[in-house]
Each structure stands twice: as C-alpha cells, then as structure tokens.
Amino acid sequence: MLKKLLKSVRDFKTVSILTPVFMAIEVFMEIAIPFLLSILIDNGIANGDTKQIAIIGAMLIIAATLSLVFGVSSGKLAAKASSGFAKNLREDIYNKIQDFSFFNIDKFSTSSLVTRLTTDVTNVQQAYMMVIRAAVRAPITILFSIIMSFIIDVRIGIIYLVATPILGFLLIFIANYVRPIFKKVFNQIDYLNCVVQENVRAIRVVKSFVTEDKEIGKFNKISDEIYQNFSRAEKILAFNSPIMQIMIYTCLTLISYFGAKFIVAGSLTTGELTSLFSYIMQMLNSLMLLSMVFVMITMAWESGQRIVEVLEEEPDLKNKENPIYDVKNGKIEFKNVGFSYVKDKKKEVLKKINLTINSGETVGIIGGTGDGKSSLVNLIPRLYDVTSGEVKVAGINVKDYDLKTLRDQVSMVLQKNELFSGTIKDNIRWGNLQATDEEIVEVCKLAQADEFITGFPDGYDTKIEQGGANVSGGQKQRLCIARALLKKPKILILDDSTSAVDTKTDSLIRKAFREKIPDTTKIIIAQRISSVQDADKIVVMSNGRIQAVGKHEELLKTNKIYKEIYTSQTKGSEANEQKV
C-alpha cells in the first residue's frame, strides 16, 4: 500500500528528502549545544577563563542560530512536501476516477469518492508531514543523545540505554492497545454523522411522523457508545504522562546520585552533569513524540487504504489494440444480448435481446420501472459491456471501436442528468469545446430551448447554479438535449429526457429531429405514449425482455402491455388527448 501511495510524491521527492536532512542538522545542533555548554561551564566558567568563554560562547551562538535556520527551513520544506504530496495524490485519484467506467463508478458511491478525495487525503497529508518531521527527528535525537551520554560517561549512558527501550516499549504497547478502540470509535462517529445527516435531510418525515423522540433516543444511544469507547481508550492513554514522568524522575534521581558520586570521585565534571540532564529530557520527549506519531499513522492507515482502493481499481473498459476510429453510420444491432450489472448470468437484467435498428430510424422504447430500458441503451455507447452476445454499431462490434470515437458518435441524454455550474453556453459547449456561438444557438433551437434562453436577461450567458437549480425541470431537459445534439452524433439516445417537457414542445422537438437531422438514428425512451407513438418502431420491454416490436396502431391491437399503458394514460379523455 505504501509503495502505491508514495508513487504520488513525484516532484516533491527532493523536498521530502531535504526535510529530514535539515531536521537532522537541527537535531545535531541541539545535541551539540548541551555538550558545548558543559565545556563552557567546566573549562570556561569554573576556571574563570574569559577567552574560553568567548570562543565557546561564540560557537554556541552559531550553533543555536544554525539550529534556528535549519529548524525553520525544515518546517517550511515539510509543509511544501506534504501539501505537494497531497496535491499529487488528489490529482491521481481524480484522474483515475476519470478513467473509470460506469461499472467502476457504480461500485463506489459518489459520497465515498468525495470522502476519499477530501478527508482521506487530508489525513494522509497530516501523517506524511508527521513522518518526515517527527518520525525522523525522534530517532535521531535518541541516537545522538545516547551517543553523547556515552562519550561523557559510559556508566551513566547505560542508565539511558536501559530506560529508553523500557519507555519505548510501554508507549508503543499503549498505542497498540488503544488502536482498535479508536478504530471502533471512528466507525461509530461515522454512523453518528450518518444519523444526523439522515435527520437533517428527512426532517419533514421526522416531524410529520412525530418521531423526534425516537430519533433523539437513537442519537443518544450512539452518542453514549462513543462516550464509553472514547473514555475507555483515553483512560488507557492517561497512563502515558505518568509513565513518562516515572521514567524522567527515576533517571533524574539515579543521575543525581551517581553523578554526585562520580564528581566527588573526580571522574565527572559539573558541566558534564548539566548536559546529561538535558540529554535525558530530549530523549524522553522524543519518545513521547514517537508514540504520538505512531497513533497518527495508525489513524491515517485506514485512509491510505481507502485511497489505494481507488488507485488500484482497474477500469474494466479498455480500448482494444488497433481500435477503429470511424463510425460509418447509425445502424445498431443487438445479437442475443444478455446483461447483468454484477456480471452474473443468474442476475441478468437483460435477456436474449435481438433487435436491429436501421440508420436514421426513430425508435421508441416503452416499459415499466426496472424493465431494462436504460440498461439496453447503455450498451450502445459501451457504457457497460454485455455479459453475453454482442452489440454492433454500423456492423462492427462496439468493443472494436475507440471508446472516445464511439461515444462522440453515440450521443446520450441520461435519465439522471446534470448541469454544471457555469453559464448556459458553457454547459452546452460540453458537447463540443470548439463549437461556435452560432452552432450553439442552432442546437438550442433544435431542442426548443432557444426561446426560453433568450427570454433570460443574460440570455446564453445566464449562470446555471449548481445542479441546475435555477431552471425548471423541463428547461433543464431541453438544455441537456441541446448539449447532446452539439456533438452531431450518428446516434442520439434520449433516456426519458422529455418527461418534464410539455407535450406540445415534446412534439416540436421530435418534429425538429425529423426535419433537421433525418440521418441520425434516434432512440427515445419515454413514459408517455405520446412521446413515441409516431416512431418508426416501438419496442415494448418487460422484465428484461423485448415483448414486442411494432408501430403504434399495430401494438395497440396486438400487445396487452402496450394497450394497458396507453389506457392508463388516456382513460376517460381520449377525445382530448387526440386533439393535440
């Protein structure tokens, strides 16, 4: 996992390495200062040697200044390295998602992808910064401190050598012990947030069912569980500081006693004793830091894993070698097609589909919710791959085309359609970034959108709010159709895309299609019979199978389902419906 994540460090490798190097210099200076100080005390002050004081004093000031400079630079570099790493990571994840097929997208929910790109990356960034700073700093400090103590006095060095591993072991033991509890707590917090989110969204349901107390009870229960677990973990963490203090005080007492003995015996100087005291503090502080880093890393580990999950997800749709870059016409053939979203033959949502649509034809598809209409058309631009059988466009299997070419030629207006923040023009231009303003107006006229767009004060430069909140449902659908038309596709698919458009405009759009783009194959999925009744062919779907194919009048006579749908929409008012 680490290897995969660290790949994203890339151009920030140098700073990532320089950070600990600078840090090491700072640590080295920090270690040198007590050592020099002991010489200053012993040789300079104790002997009253002014020259010594001046020389070593100057060295000390230089050392402290260097420590300052390198410490600050290292902090700056660490910020750059970790922010840069995070930037690359976000970009890698984002770009990876761009390569996902629909199948991959379905696998991760939108909100989970958003969390990975935001919270998870931030966690990893924090941990990375901790690692290149503290995780390097602490061991170096410990190592240098022990070496220096040994240089000063081997016997006292041994006290350190014993104390350090004991403390280290205890701290890591504690961190290890609380880790699973923390993991549990964070899961519970996730759940708590989920309850809050559901309540905020569904506040109308809560209020109208008068279930406020039930929800408060639910919340308090989880809140209590979090309290219990968090307290449990922190109770154990509460041992950290006293353990640390036991070690410090024990070492101080031992050093005081033995130090006094050695000084009296003449094998240690007062100055050396002072530096030994500083080393022990530095060392134990570093251990504390190390245990903190340990906890940080374990927390970020989860996030790292979630990120790698995305990075390692293989897009399941790929171009074949030597793909075809030209779609000759808009003929579509389904041959014995079976399809399942989970790639399981038993759970097929489309079964034994055989259908031929000729170039330029208008085809309507009718059926109930979950009958497989959308699944069927999704196979044409190869948004999903068939589970069995084959889909051909212009006589060639869709798998043999270059994906981009295919999707440029098969334009689709999705059922759940999105507009993006930006102007109307920006949104339409999604279909073709190089389109001129005239072309945009032309497709908008075709989609019967020009009239309402020019009615806006800012016309084509009207800003669309996020999710298209400031246009009506029918207007949004027409904009989406215009966007799809701008591609000048050979095949145009409308997946229930005129449901909010009034019937009159709906028929105007179809009329425009007939007259202006006669060579384009048009597939229209609709709930309203009126949207498909003038099609060349109407396909009736039921339970993943094609029930019947035919013209309106024909189906009305021969197909029960079609007739039922028709009556459900027109009962008692046929006279009125036909006037349209």
Residues 93 to 122 in contact with other proteins, rule: CB under 8 A: 94-95, 97-102, 105, 109-111, 113-114, 117-118
Binds other proteins by CB under 8 A, chosen from 352, 407, 545, 552: 407
| Among candidate residues 236, 239, 244, 252, the one with its CA nearest the CA of residue 287 | 244
What letter represents residue 5's amino acid? L
Applying CB under 8 A, the span of 1-9, 42-50, 319-327, 388-396 interacting with other proteins comes to 42-50
3-class state of residue 423 by DSSP? strand
167 token code pair? 């403390």
Give DSSP secondary structure letters for 382-405: TSS--SEEEEEETTEEGGGB-HHH
- For other proteins, the closer CB: 113 or 297: 113
Backbone angles phi, psi at 308, to 5 degrees: -60, -35
DSSP E strands in 320-359: the ranges are 332-339, 350-357
Alpha-carbon distance of 366 to 462, in angstroms, equals 35
| Among candidate residues 105, 523, 524, the one with its CA nearest the CA of residue 341 | 105
Residues 534-573 that bind other proteins (CB under 8 A): 561, 564-565, 568-573
Compute CA distances 443 → 432, 479, 484, whole Å.
12, 9, 9
Q: List the x/- string, 345-384, binding to other proteins by CB under 8 A.
A: ----------------------xxxx----------x-x-
Q: Compute how many other C-beta atoms are within 10 angstroms of the C-beta atom of residue 563.
A: 13
Q: List the x/- string, 429-448, binding to other proteins by CB under 8 A.
A: -xx-x---------------
- For other proteins, the closer CB: 99 or 312: 99
Do residues 429 and 444 lie in contact, with contact meaning Cβ atoms separated by under 8 Å? no
Residues 447-476 that bind other proteins (CB under 8 A): 466-467, 472-474
- For other proteins, the closer CB: 2 or 264: 264
Binds other proteins by CB under 8 A, chosen from 64, 146, 172, 299: 64
Q: Contact between 20 and other proteins (CB under 8 A)?
A: no
Least distance between other proteins and beta carbon 101 (Å): 8
Is residue 210 packed enough to be buried (19+ CB in 10 Å), middle (13-18) or exposed (0-12)? exposed
Least distance between other proteins and beta carbon 137 (Å): 10
Least distance between other proteins and beta carbon 227 (Å): 4
Residues 155-214 that bind other proteins (CB under 8 A): 192-212, 214
- For other proteins, the closer CB: 129 or 517: 129
Binds other proteins by CB under 8 A, chosen from 17, 252, 508, 548: 252
Least distance between other proteins and beta carbon 11 (Å): 11
Applying CB under 8 A, the span of 324-332, 418-426, 513-521, 547-555 interacting with other proteins comes to 418-426
Bridge partners of 463, per DSSP, are: 423
Please name the residue that has the structure tokens 């677990």.
Answer: 229
- For other proteins, the closer CB: 238 or 354: 238
Least distance between other proteins and beta carbon 161 (Å): 22
240 token code pair? 């950290």
- For other proteins, the closer CB: 2 or 575: 575
Q: How many CA atoms lie within 13 A of 327 on its CB side?
A: 30
Q: Which residues are within 8 A (CB) of 432 and not within 5 positions of it... i.e. 6 or more apart?
A: 439, 486, 487, 488
Applying CB under 8 A, the span of 25-33, 159-167, 299-307, 353-361 interacting with other proteins comes to 25-33
Alpha-carbon distance of 145 to 278, in angstroms, equals 9
Residues 277-296 that bind other proteins (CB under 8 A): 277-278, 281
Do residues 477 and 499 lie in contact, with contact meaning Cβ atoms separated by under 8 Å? yes
